């Protein structure tokens, strides 16, 4: 089995406990990071009526936050679609949002029309995409001109220090233990810190975005650099 297929199967296995694990393992901070990111994009992008695509949507956490943020900021979401390669994740998402469209597909091969979306988001999913450059080109293809790409991710730390040491210790020692207890799949939660180590630094990911003709508008750290937010515009 190829690495990409193994990752998808891993998410199928942990899907039933995925949301609970996220809340516990991040101490609820992941919800705050998502809220801040969605609200920042909606304030930055002045169009009132929006078509949003959430890639690697999982069970739909980001979709719910897009909806609540749009309501709060008096923006209208015409359509919002969730895309994920994990069948089991999507089954849970469909139960949460019975009136929305969900598509089983990989980020590097999106079954969507050219210049279809105002906003594309992917939260904590891009490092799991083996064909990352192809995925970024797909995001550009489906975005309208001047459309916005929002990426939330755990990037590789370049600087050392107390925060970096604490994050790495937590990810490599505590997270696999707790995640394994909740999901009964310790290997899946060993994968997380390994995937961060194998991912890019902030600067490297900015260059990848620029290489496929995105202009990075904002790069922000959340919680002392634990999480990174990239807001980029299609040019």
Annotated binding-site members for S-adenosyl-L-methionine: 59, 84, 123
Dist. CA 97–CA 71, nearest whole Å: 16
Question: Which residue is listed with tokens 């279809």?
Answer: 116
User: Alpha-carbon distance 37 to 32, whole Å?
Assistant: 9
Helix H or strand E encompassing 79? strand 76-84
Q: Helix or strand or coil: residue 32?
A: helix
Q: Could you give the CA distance from residue 117 to residue 78 in angstroms, rounded to a whole number?
A: 10
Three-class SS state of 47? coil
Which among 205, 229, 93 has a CA at the least distance from the CA of 153? 229
Task: Output the known binding site.
Answer: 59, 84, 123
**Angle made by CA atoms 125, 127, 128, in degrees to the nearest 5:** 70
DSSP annotation string for 81-100 = EEEES-HHHHHHHHHH-TTS
């Amino acid at each position: 089995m190829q690495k990409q297929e193994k990752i998808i199967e891993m998410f199928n296995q942990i899907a039933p406990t995925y949301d609970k694990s996220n809340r516990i393992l991040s101490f609820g901070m992941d919800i705050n990071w998502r809220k801040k990111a969605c609200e920042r994009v909606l304030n930055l992008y002045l169009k009132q009526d929006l078509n949003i695509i959430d890639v690697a949507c999982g069970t739909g956490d980001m979709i719910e936050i897009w909806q609540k943020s749009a309501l709060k900021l008096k923006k209208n979401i015409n359509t919002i679609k969730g895309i994920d390669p994990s069948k089991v994740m999507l089954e849970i998402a469909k139960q949460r949002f019975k009136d929305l469209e969900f598509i089983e597909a990989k980020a590097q091969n999106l079954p969507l029309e050219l210049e279809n979306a105002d906003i594309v988001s992917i939260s904590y999913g891009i490092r799991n995409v083996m064909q990352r450059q192809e995925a970024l080109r797909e995001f550009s293809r489906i975005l309208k001109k001047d459309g916005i790409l929002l990426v939330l991710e755990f990037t590789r730390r370049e600087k050392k220090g107390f925060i970096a040491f604490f994050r790495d210790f937590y990810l490599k020692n505590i997270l696999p233990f707790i995640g394994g207890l909740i999901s009964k799949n310790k290997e899946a939660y060993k994968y997380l810190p390994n995937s961060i180590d194998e991912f890019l630094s902030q600067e490297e990911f900015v260059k990848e975005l620029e290489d496929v003709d995105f202009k990075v508008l904002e790069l922000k750290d959340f919680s002392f650099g634990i999480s990174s937010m990239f807001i980029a515009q299609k040019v």
